[in-house]
Every structure is written in C-alpha cells, then in structure tokens.
C-alpha cells in the first residue's frame, strides 16, 4: 500500500542544561494512505516529538540531527520555512489535546474558522462562513449557524473538542494529526469523539495519526500502531497484531499493565519495574534491556536488529522468533467477600448523612432584600456514605459530579451546607479549624496532581516530615522519620534531597503517599490517585496502596473517573452524577450487573484495549448538564435512553435493592 | 547504613550543584549582566569607601579654583565654591546607597507583607488595600514631596519616607497577584488538608515562591529610587547643603550651567551608570531565575 508519509531514521536532540538529550533516535515508520495510525507510548517515549517534527514546530532547543520525513514525495526537513508553512493547516493539520488552550479565547468560532481559510482569496466572507457552518454541522454541533458567533468559553468541553476537529478538517487536509485528542475529556465524551473521528475519517478518506498513551483509544480507533519507548520505535504492525500477538516485550508488558484488560481481581497489578533510561547517554544495547523480563547478555551490548514479521509489522528485539513464552498470569485473588462481611459487624469509621453542599451564586444581600433564599448551585446533593475501617470505597463520576467537593468537605476544606459528617461516630462537619486540626492526624488526603500538590521550593525530606511539624510532634527525629517514610513507600533515600520538579510522576506520587501516611491516619482520601501516571507506574502505586492498607488497616475513599482502576482496588463503589449518588454497592456486583442506566453506560463505555471488542453501542448522547440547570426530575433524564414521563417530574429517591445496594432510579434496568 | 546512604546523597548534591553551575554559566556569559554587576560593585565600593578614596574633603572650599573643568588636580572639576566635584560625587553616593538600601528593602518588606495579606486575608481587606495602593500610585510623587516638605522641612528622612510610601504599592501588587495564583493551587490545598495554619502556609510555602520576582523588581527599583532622591534634592526637598548628594550636585551645577557645564555632566554621570548597572543586573538575574527564560538557551 502506498505511504502518504514516510519517516526514515529521524533523530532529534534537545539541548538542556543537563546536556544533549537524545529524544529521538533513528525513528522510522510509514503512514499508509487513508488509514488511521496510532502512535502509542508512555511519557518520555518521544511520541509528541515525532508529531511536532512532522509539523516542523519543535521547541527552539530541539535540533533535528538526521533522517528524513517524506510527505508527498518531498522531504519536509529540507523545505524552507515558508514552504512548510504552506503545508501547515492546508495539507497537514492538528487536533490538539486541550481545546481550551489551543483555541483563541477572544475570537468567535466564525472568526477563527474564517481565519483558517485566509489563503482562499477566491472565497467571499459569506462563503467562508458557510463552509465553517457546514463543517461544524458535520462534527455534530447542533445549530451551527448560531454557534458560529459563540466563543470557546461558551462551549462545553466535548463541544470544544468537536470544534477543534472541525477547524483541523476545514481546509481538507491529507494528513490529520491528533495529539491525545480525548485526554482532557470525560469517559462518555471520549467515546463520542472516537466515533466522530472514525466516521469523519471514513468520509473524508484522510490519513490520520493519533498520538496517545491510552491503549483503549488506540485499539478502538486505529488500523495500524507504532509503539515507541524512550525515543525509539520498538514495534509496528496492524492493530490486531499488536494487541493480540505483540512481539516486543515492552508492548506485551504495556498491554498487561492496562487495568481495562484485567477482568479478574488480581492480588497484584502487573507493572514494568524500573525507570526510563537517561536519554543524555542512552545505553549501547537494547533501550528496554534494563526493564525487560527476558534480557539476554546480548541485549546489553548490541542494538537489536529490526525484524520484519509475516504481516509487514516490525519489531526491534533480539528474541524474535515468537519463542517468547507467555508470562504466567498473576495469581488471582478470591472474590472480595472479606471486607464486606467484616464491615457489617464493625462501627463505621466515616459516615456522611444526607450531605448537601451549596455554593451561592449571588450575594446574600440581594436575596434578603427580595425576601428569598439566595440562588446557588448544589455541588453535592443528599450524599449518604459509610466507610468501615480497612475498607476501600470508590467514588466514581465525571467532571462536575461533585466527587472532589465531597472529598474536600469531609476534610473540612469546603463548608457543608446541611447534613452530617461523622468520623468515628462524632459529628465533625463545619468545625472551626482549631477544633478540626487534631482530627487531621487521623485523616489525610492525596491530591490529584502528583507534582502540583507538592510545595515547589521544599525538598522531599521537608515535605514528608511537615505533618509532624504542623502537629508539633517533637519526640521523633525528623531525619530518621523521613527515611522511615521513604522506605515505607519504596522511595529511594537519595531522592529525599530533591525538589518536586526533579521527580517523575510516580516518584512524586510516592512522596504524596508518604506525606499522607506520616501521622499514621486511619482514613486516606485519594483524589484520582493514578491521574498523570503512566500505565506501567499506575500498577506500582495501586499495589503500594494495597500493601499499606493491609499493613496499617487504612480505610480509603478513592475519588476517580477511571472505572478500570477503581475496579481493582475498591470493595464498594458509589457512582455520582451531578452531585447525587445514583448507584452504590459492592464493586464486583456493580461491574457484573448495573441497575442504573448511567452506571451501565459508564461500565460499557470504557474503551477496551482489544480491537475485536469495540464498544457495541455509541455511549451516551449529549453532555453532563450544567449544575446551574439541574433538571427538575431525575438528574440523568436528559441523557437517559429509557426516560419516561415520571422521570421528568420527580427526583427518584434512594432505595435499597438487595443487600448493600442502593440506587436512585424510577425504572432500574432489570 | 549511614555509609551506604551518604554516597548517593553526595551524588545528588553534586547534581544540584552542577545545575547551579549551569545557571551561573548562563549569567557569566551574558555580557550585559556582567557589565551590570561590575557597575553595581563599583557603586557599592565607592560609596562605602568614599572617605578613603576621595581625593579631597568634599566640603573643603578653594575659592580661587572655582568652576574649574576636569584636570589632573580635580578629575571632575570643581563647583562655584571650589569644592572638588569627584569627592562630592563619591560622598553623594553614600546618600544614594543609604536611600537605595533602606528605602528599597523597607518598601519590599512592607509591600510583601501587605500583598500576602491582601491575597490571603478577607476579601474586604483586599479591596481596601487595593484602593489604597491605587490612590498612592495615582498621586504624583513630586507633588506628594512638595506637600509633605511644607509640613516638615527638607530632610533625608523625608526623602526616605516618600520613597517607601510610593514604592510599596508595586511590591504589594506583584506579591498579591503571585500569591493569588498560588492560593488556588493544589499544594496550598494539600497544606491546608494537613492542618497548616495560614501563617505557616504564607511563610513556608508562599514567600519562597513570590520572593524571586520581587528581588528582580527591587534591583530594577534601585535606580528609580536613586533618581527620585536626586530629583527631590534637586528641587530642594531632600538633602540640604552643604551635604553632597547627586541631586544637590545636579542642582548646583544647574545654577552655574552658564559659566560651566562640567558640573551637570559630571554629576549626571553616576546616576546614568548606576541606572544602567542595576537594570542590566536585574535583567541578567531574571534570565537565570525565571525558568521560562532558560529553556531556549
């Protein structure tokens, strides 16, 4: 098949203060015309560098030191800047990761899209507008003529990404590059965007390259896959080849690590031990040798040859003939009945009763003058939860579901409007800080952003011992304590002298865990504990959390949007939608059978890292409504596939269905 | 155990040191920054050691040699009373240094405190402080000086007070903006979840993060303050004769400009050089302290 784009031996260096970082080394692959290619890799793999090399928009400290990028029979690297600019936006265009930062905030979509067509002098302004409206319609934006006059902030996240795709396709490019196109979106939005990209590709016959770390997205969307690791291509092939019969150990390990592939609840999640090699002086042999389970002496001294498979795929590995023995799957843990059975007998550690959190959206004065309650939005509505010692409760929801607010309210960082928070049987909601402070020794929080939640000018040592200082614990030696905590979270001791920006995501997360556990709390609230981490590191952190739970009898309240992750660590799950819990129950049961249509669409909406198990249905239509426009009836009514008249009228009450299971739905799924 | 852990720690330290070396290299290869540094060092040294290096007593009159141009005897010439201009410039540098050191550090400290208070305090206090900052900023400095001098009479202390009052708002505003951004970050929330008091958060976590840009601002503010003193003294609101300051020298030179232009030229020179020195130094500092400026090099 003809290649639209051919990259040969592309090498790129970055000049940094630490020296020359060899970010790409001899990267070669081709993009077949009219197909979707996925470039998959973890952070530091160089996948984005490849993309920006194609566009010719590398950072100023990057230098292409060799190779060629052939596009329509011309080498992009030898073209003048002016000639490359002619191609950008016309023949090659990009869909960015975060539409909020890649779209001009002060220009309407109509204006931005007309600007993209600036080379088309023959088109009148009216025609440009027409073309823009047509394209917006194509990407599924209702009422495009009206929407053209709106600004990015008036669009919701999913709409914005649709508009981003419309902008990229407006000029009819031959090659469309998508950089993590769904990473900034919720699960239900992600499904919609994947389908949109597939449909549009089929219609326009453009060649698409998708850069992503998300294996599910790659499996669902792509025809061919390039796997990158530490600046090298380790394997290429058709999507089925890669996902069903991967030949490179890294590809195998990456697939094994994806929680969505693991259906049974294993004792330990698989991981890829070790770290990325230092790219200022990459190893002489195979780049993956240090972390590979099959390393031979040869691997450390010689670069592996590129071996062409029968299907045309390539792999760079010394062990090539397919003789690699399948790895023994991790021991499977028996169904999690222990904690649940135990829970019934023990007093709960944490309990919330009909918790409501309302943020006012107008001043008290105005409302008082008019003699009514001030307007506001309900971030959390009637949430009742219990958490027993040693138990893990997963709170799952999309953005705007109020899950983070709930976690913060429990820790008294957000004030509670009505309802109760009981910790060890005592009411603790809305206590003044000086009364709440002693309680903080027993409850700790891990925040979403692993690096961002660490004070940037403090060393790791100072950070993890800070809780001791805050609570005035003087009898323990801080240095010894720092070492104890570092050992506990398996953080190498030399890292204690580092600053947060010198840590990788996984290391920073370990520091966060160590700080949370410094005072041996009984409850840990973890907000997206795996956010910002690579797949191979996610498992490490979750295993660590499980070990510490077993050792110290911790109770976890885990807040996340990531269903596959929560499945492996939670005893029970609560699903939140627009601030309300719609379904609650034991994790395994919820995954086996969903009563609430929203839960069902979430569970079935997880992208499967298996090209043959593409999502059967298109996921949910529409988007999460704004909290300001909460429906009068059921919150989910606008998106529910089986809404009936009653659902528009009345909020479904919470009711028990079987043991340990509570739902809020008028017409639960059978 | 200690033996095992001491080795890697050393390695880490040397790594941190090499990063610092790299920053230093960026600074050393920047000719503007180096020129700035040299000028600033000269400014400090000449002000501190003025009594030792000045060739004459700054107040010793030599009427026959009045209004002389530069010569080997009087390198910068003399004024209408025959006083050696170079000696007077060197001694005037002491006034400038005092004002710069005390005025800038005082307004930096107060501005920093008020800025953090505005960012982390109640919203009403924030509005009130902003109102005060804006009022002070919108008031012309010279008019403020004229108004106060009519109450108290001219003095160095008065110049200092005016310098501090007029510079506080800029430090406070920069601090407030930076602190407001930090207030919304995850790490501040994380500190609160650990039970850290607002004071602790401000001192340990906000201060180290806002102080960098403020130091650069301070370096850029020094020439402003020095010329403000010169300006006020020129108008007769600051240092009173016979004390030498760069402003009074300019003033005296201005009065005799018809007879000899040397004095104005010579008295203006240190002001120009100090301004250039601190500005270049500040820009160099910004280049090494601001990580965003580092990337492209």
Residue B288 vs residues A117, A181, B104, B275: alpha-carbon distances, Å: 41, 35, 22, 20
Closest CA–CA distance from residue A18 to any residue of chain B (Å)? 7
> Is the Cβ–Cβ distance between A252 and A574 less than 8 Å?
no
Nearest CA among A533, A545, A338 for reference residue A444:
A545
A353 pLDDT higher than 70: yes
Residue B255 inside a domain? The answer is yes
What pLDDT is stored for residue B173 in this prediction? 93
Yes or no, beta carbons of A445 and B190 under 8 Å apart: yes
| Torsion angle (degrees, nearest 10) of CA A189, A191, A197, A200 | -100
Nearest-by-CA chain B residue for A516: B194
Span A391-420, average pLDDT: 90
What pLDDT is stored for residue B119 in this prediction? 92
A170 pLDDT higher than 60: yes
- Cα-to-chain-centroid distance, residue B30: 21
pLDDT tens per residue across span A562-585:
888 888 888 999 999 999 999 999
In chain A, where are the structural domains located? Answer: 3-91+173-316, 338-364+387-591
From CA A561, how far away is CA A415, in angstroms rounded? 24
For B200, which of A413, A470, A494 is closest by C-beta distance? A470
Q: Lay out the sheet containing A418-423: strands in order across.
A: A376-387, A350-360, A418-423, A426-427
Please report which helix (H) or strand (E) contains residue A461, including its range.
helix A460-470
pLDDT tens per residue across span A621-664:
777 888 888 888 898 888 888 888 888 888 898 888 877 888 99
Residue B2 inside a domain? The answer is no
Q: SS3 breakdown of chain B: % helix, strand, coil, rounded to 5?
A: 80, 0, 20
pLDDT tens per residue across span B23-67:
677 677 778 888 888 988 888 888 888 788 777 777 777 777 777
What pLDDT is stored for residue A129 in this prediction? 92
Closest CA–CA distance from residue A416 to any residue of chain B (Å)? 16
What pLDDT is stored for residue A347 in this prediction? 84
- What pTM did the predictor assign? 0.80
Whose structure tokens read 């005092």?
A: B98
Yes or no, beta carbons of B11 and A494 under 8 Å apart: yes
Task: Please determine whether the domains at A3-91+173-316 and A338-364+387-591 fall in the same fold group of CATH.
Answer: yes
Span A472-485, average pLDDT: 88
> Is the Cβ–Cβ distance between A661 and A585 less than 8 Å?
yes
For A413, which of B19, B193, B297 is closest by C-beta distance? B193
Residue B285 inside a domain? The answer is yes
Closest CA–CA distance from residue B295 to any residue of chain A (Å)? 7
For A494, which of B12, B185, B187 is closest by C-beta distance? B12
H-only helix segments in A180-234: 187-204, 215-221
**pLDDT greater at residue A490 or residue A574:** A574
What pLDDT is stored for residue A329 in this prediction? 42
Span B172-189, average pLDDT: 91
Yes or no, beta carbons of B19 and A455 under 8 Å apart: no
Nearest-by-CA chain B residue for A454: B187
Dihedral of CA A502/A507/A512/A518: which sign? negative
What pLDDT is stored for residue A585 in this prediction? 92
What pLDDT is stored for residue A332 in this prediction? 36
Interface test with B, best of A453, A508, A512 (most B CBs within 10 A): A453
From CA B39, how far away is CA B42, in angstroms rounded? 5
Q: Lay out the sheet containing A443-446: strands in order across.
A: A443-446, A523-527, A555-560, A392-396, A572-577, A580-586, A662-663, A655-656
For B195, which of A408, A440, A494 is closest by C-beta distance? A440
A-B C-beta contacts closer than 8 Å? 88
Closest CA–CA distance from residue A458 to any residue of chain B (Å)? 8
Residue B250 inside a domain? The answer is yes
User: For A338-364+387-591, CATH number?
Assistant: 3.40.50.300
Give Dmax over CA atoms of chain B in angstroms.
Answer: 81
pLDDT tens per residue across span A130-160:
999 999 998 888 888 889 999 988 888 888 8
pLDDT tens per residue across span A585-632:
998 889 888 899 999 888 887 777 777 776 555 567 777 888 888 888
A433 pLDDT higher than 90: no
Dihedral of CA A283/A289/A295/A299: which sign? negative
For B187, which of A15, A455, A497 is closest by C-beta distance? A455
Nearest CA among A161, A169, A183 for reference residue A47:
A183
The β-bridge relationship of strands A232-238 and A62-71 is: unpaired
Dihedral of CA A482/A485/A491/A493: which sign? positive
Span A480-494, average pLDDT: 89
For residue B208, list chain A residues with Cβ-Cβ distance below 8 A: 457-458
- Of A273-277, A337-341, A444-448, A570-574, the poorest mean pLDDT is in A337-341
Average pLDDT over chain B reads 79
Yes or no, beta carbons of B186 and A437 under 8 Å apart: no
If pLDDT is split at 50, 70 and 90, which confidence band does B150 have? confident
If pLDDT is split at 50, 70 and 90, which confidence band does B178 have? very high
Span A503-530, average pLDDT: 90
Please report which helix (H) or strand (E) contains residue B28, including its range.
helix B2-28
What does DSSP assign to residue A419?
Answer: E
What pLDDT is stored for residue A267 in this prediction? 65
If pLDDT is split at 50, 70 and 90, which confidence band does A53 have? very high
What does DSSP assign to residue A522?
Answer: S
Give the CATH number, domain containing residue B40: 1.10.3720.10
What does DSSP assign to residue A288?
Answer: T
A559: preceding bond cis by omega (within 30 degrees): no
| Token pair listed for A401 | 């579901």
- The size of chain B, in residues, is 297
pLDDT tens per residue across span B90-143:
888 888 888 888 889 999 999 999 999 999 988 899 999 999 999 988 888 878
Average pLDDT over chain A reads 85
Whose structure tokens read 């017409």?
A: A667
The β-bridge relationship of strands A572-577 and A555-560 is: unpaired
First to last CA, chain B: 41
Question: Residue B90 is part of which domain span?
Answer: 11-294
If pLDDT is split at 50, 70 and 90, which confidence band does A521 have? very high
Residue A267 vs residues A10, A23, A342: alpha-carbon distances, Å: 42, 36, 19
What pLDDT is stored for residue A345 in this prediction? 62
What pLDDT is stored for residue B12 in this prediction? 45
Q: How many domains does chain B have?
A: 1
A100 pLDDT higher than 90: no
**pLDDT greater at residue B6 or residue A182:** A182
> Is the Cβ–Cβ distance between A505 and A511 less than 8 Å?
no
What pLDDT is stored for residue A628 in this prediction? 80
Residue B4 inside a domain? The answer is no
| DSSP helix/strand/coil, A56 | coil
The β-bridge relationship of strands A555-560 and A523-527 is: parallel
> Is the Cβ–Cβ distance between A557 and A409 less than 8 Å?
no
If pLDDT is split at 50, 70 and 90, which confidence band does A265 have? low
What pLDDT is stored for residue B20 in this prediction? 62
According to CATH, the topology of domain A3-91+173-316 is Rossmann fold (3.40.50)
| DSSP string for A326-382 | PPPPPPBPPPS-HHHHHHHHSPPSEEEEEEEEEEESS-HHHHHHTTSPPPEEEEEEE
> Is the Cβ–Cβ distance between A637 and A620 less than 8 Å?
no
For residue A437, list chain B residues with Cβ-Cβ distance below 8 A: 195
Span A516-535, average pLDDT: 88
What pLDDT is stored for residue A9 in this prediction? 92
> Is the Cβ–Cβ distance between A255 and A330 less than 8 Å?
no
Yes or no, beta carbons of B205 and A493 under 8 Å apart: no
**pLDDT greater at residue B204 or residue B243:** B204
What pLDDT is stored for residue B29 in this prediction? 74
A177 pLDDT higher than 90: yes
A39 pLDDT higher than 90: yes
A446 pLDDT higher than 60: yes
Q: In 10 A of CB A124, how many CB atoms?
A: 10
The β-bridge relationship of strands A224-229 and A36-40 is: parallel
What does DSSP assign to residue A88?
Answer: B
If pLDDT is split at 50, 70 and 90, which confidence band does A69 have? very high
> Is the Cβ–Cβ distance between A223 and A4 less than 8 Å?
no
CB-count exposure of residue A438 (10 Å: 0-12, 13-18, 19+): exposed
pLDDT-above-70 percentage for chain A: 94
Span A522-532, average pLDDT: 89
What pLDDT is stored for residue A109 in this prediction? 92
For A61, which of B8, B193, B296 is closest by C-beta distance? B296
Contacts of A585 (CB under 8 A, 6+ apart): A572, A573, A660, A661, A662
> Is the Cβ–Cβ distance between A655 and A648 less than 8 Å?
no
Closest CA–CA distance from residue B105 to any residue of chain A (Å)? 23
Q: In 10 A of CB A328, how many CB atoms?
A: 6
- Of A164-178, A306-320, A625-639, the poorest mean pLDDT is in A306-320
What does DSSP assign to residue A79?
Answer: S
A189 pLDDT higher than 70: yes
> Is the Cβ–Cβ distance between A558 and A516 less than 8 Å?
no
**pLDDT greater at residue B159 or residue A229:** A229
From CA A24, how far away is CA A50, in angstroms rounded? 8
| Torsion angle (degrees, nearest 10) of CA A87, A88, A89, A95 | 140
What pLDDT is stored for residue B262 in this prediction? 79
**pLDDT greater at residue A215 or residue B154:** A215
Residue B130 inside a domain? The answer is yes
For residue B200, list chain A residues with Cβ-Cβ distance below 8 A: 470
Span B268-292, average pLDDT: 77
Strands (E), A33-160: 36-40, 62-71, 74-75, 92-95
């Amino acid at each position: 098949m003809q290649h639209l784009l051919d990259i040969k031996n592309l090498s790129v260096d970055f000049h940094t203060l630490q020296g020359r970082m060899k970010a790409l080394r001899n990267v070669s692959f081709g993009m077949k015309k009219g197909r979707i290619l996925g470039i998959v890799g973890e952070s530091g793999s160089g996948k984005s560098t490849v993309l920006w090399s194609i566009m010719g928009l590398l950072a100023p400290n990057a230098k292409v030191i060799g190779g060629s990028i052939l596009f329509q029979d011309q080498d992009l690297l030898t073209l003048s800047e002016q000639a490359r600019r002619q191609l950008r936006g016309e023949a090659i265009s990009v869909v960015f990761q975060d539409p909020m930062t890649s779209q001009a905030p002060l220009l309407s979509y109509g204006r931005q899209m007309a600007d993209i067509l600036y080379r088309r002098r023959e088109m009148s302004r009216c025609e440009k507008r027409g073309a823009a409206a047509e394209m917006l319609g194509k990407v599924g934006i209702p009422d495009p003529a009206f929407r053209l006059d709106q600004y990015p902030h008036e669009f919701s996240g999913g709409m914005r990404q649709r508009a981003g795709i419309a902008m990229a396709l407006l000029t009819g490019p031959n090659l469309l590059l998508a950089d993590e196109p769904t990473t900034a979106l919720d699960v239900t939005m992600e499904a919609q965007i994947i389908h949109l990209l597939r449909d549009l590709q089929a219609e326009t016959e453009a060649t698409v390259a998708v850069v992503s770390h998300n294996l599910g997205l790659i499996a669902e969307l792509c025809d061919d896959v390039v796997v990158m690791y530490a600046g090298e291509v380790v394997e290429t092939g058709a999507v089925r080849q890669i996902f069903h019969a991967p030949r490179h150990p890294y590809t195998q390990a990456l697939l094994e690590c994806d929680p969505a592939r693991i259906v049974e609840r294993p004792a330990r999640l698989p991981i890829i031990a070790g770290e990325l090699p230092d790219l200022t002086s990459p190893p002489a042999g195979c780049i993956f040798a240090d972390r590979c389970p099959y390393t031979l002496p040869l691997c450390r001294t010689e670069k592996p040859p590129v071996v062409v498979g029968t299907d045309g795929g390539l792999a760079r590995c010394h062990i090539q003939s397919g003789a690699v023995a399948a790895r023994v799957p991790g021991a499977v843990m028996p169904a999690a009945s222990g904690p649940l059975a135990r829970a019934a007998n023990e007093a709960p550690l944490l309990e919330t009763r009909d918790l409501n959190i309302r943020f006012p959206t107008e001043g008290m004065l105005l409302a008082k003058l008019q003699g009514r309650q001030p307007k506001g939005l309900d971030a959390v509505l009637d949430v009742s939860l219990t958490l027993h010692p040693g138990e893990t409760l997963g709170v799952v929801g999309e953005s705007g579901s109020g899950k983070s607010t709930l976690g913060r309210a429990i820790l008294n960082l957000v004030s509670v409007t009505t309802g109760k928070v009981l910790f060890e049987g005592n009411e603790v909601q809305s206590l003044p800080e000086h009364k709440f402070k002693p309680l903080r020794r027993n409850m700790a929080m891990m925040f979403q952003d692993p690096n961002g939640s660490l004070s940037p000018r403090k060393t790791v040592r100072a950070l993890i011992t800070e809780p001791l200082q805050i609570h005035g614990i003087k009898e323990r030696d801080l240095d010894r304590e720092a070492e104890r905590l570092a050992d506990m979270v398996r953080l190498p001791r030399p890292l204690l002298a580092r600053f947060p920006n010198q840590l990788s995501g996984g290391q920073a997360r370990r520091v966060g865990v160590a700080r949370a556990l410094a005072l041996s709390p009984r409850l840990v609230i973890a907000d997206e504990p795996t956010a910002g981490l690579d797949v191979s590191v996610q498992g490490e952190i979750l295993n660590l959390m499980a070990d510490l739970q077993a050792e110290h009898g911790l109770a976890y309240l885990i807040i996340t949007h990531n269903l596959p992750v929560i499945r492996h660590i939670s005893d029970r799950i609560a699903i939140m939608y627009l601030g309300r819990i719609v379904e609650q129950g034991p994790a395994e049961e919820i995954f086996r059978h969903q009563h609430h249509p929203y839960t069902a669409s979430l569970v079935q909406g997880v992208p499967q890292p298996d090209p043959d198990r593409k999502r059967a249905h298109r996921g949910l239509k529409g988007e999460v409504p704004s909290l300001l426009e909460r429906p009068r009836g059921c919150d989910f009514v606008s998106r529910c596939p089986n809404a009936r008249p009653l659902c528009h009228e009345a909020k479904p009450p919470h009711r028990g269905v079987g043991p340990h299971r509570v739902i809020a739905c008028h017409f639960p799924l059978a | 155990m200690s033996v095992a852990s001491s080795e890697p720690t050393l390695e880490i330290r040397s790594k941190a040191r090499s990063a610092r070396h790299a920053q230093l290299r960026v600074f050393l290869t920047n000719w503007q920054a180096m020129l700035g540094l040299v000028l600033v060092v000269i400014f400090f040294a000449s002000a501190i050691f003025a009594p030792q290096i000045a060739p004459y007593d700054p107040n010793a009159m030599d009427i026959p040699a009045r209004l002389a141009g530069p010569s080997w005897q009087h390198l910068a010439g003399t004024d209408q009373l025959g006083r050696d201009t170079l000696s007077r410039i060197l001694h005037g540098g002491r006034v400038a240094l005092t004002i710069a050191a005390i005025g800038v550090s005082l307004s930096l400290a107060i501005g920093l405190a008020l800025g953090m208070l505005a960012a982390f305090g109640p919203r009403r206090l924030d509005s009130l402080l902003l109102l005060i900052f804006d009022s002070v900023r919108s008031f012309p400095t010279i008019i403020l000086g004229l108004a106060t001098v009519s109450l108290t009479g001219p003095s160095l202390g008065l110049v200092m007070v005016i310098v501090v009052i007029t510079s506080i708002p800029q430090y406070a505003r920069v601090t407030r903006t930076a602190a407001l951004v930090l207030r919304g970050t995850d790490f501040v929330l994380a500190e609160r979840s650990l039970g850290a008091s607002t004071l602790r958060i401000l001192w340990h976590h906000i201060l180290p993060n806002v102080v960098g840009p403020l130091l650069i601002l301070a370096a850029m503010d020094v020439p402003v303050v020095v010329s403000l003193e010169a300006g006020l003294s020129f108008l007769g609101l600051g240092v009173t004769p016979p004390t030498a300051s760069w402003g009074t020298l300019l003033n005296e030179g201005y009065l005799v400009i018809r007879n000899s232009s040397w004095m104005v030229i010579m008295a203006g020179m240190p002001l120009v050089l100090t301004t250039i020195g601190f500005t270049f130094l500040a820009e160099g500092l910004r280049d090494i302290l601001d990580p965003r400026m580092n990337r492209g090099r």
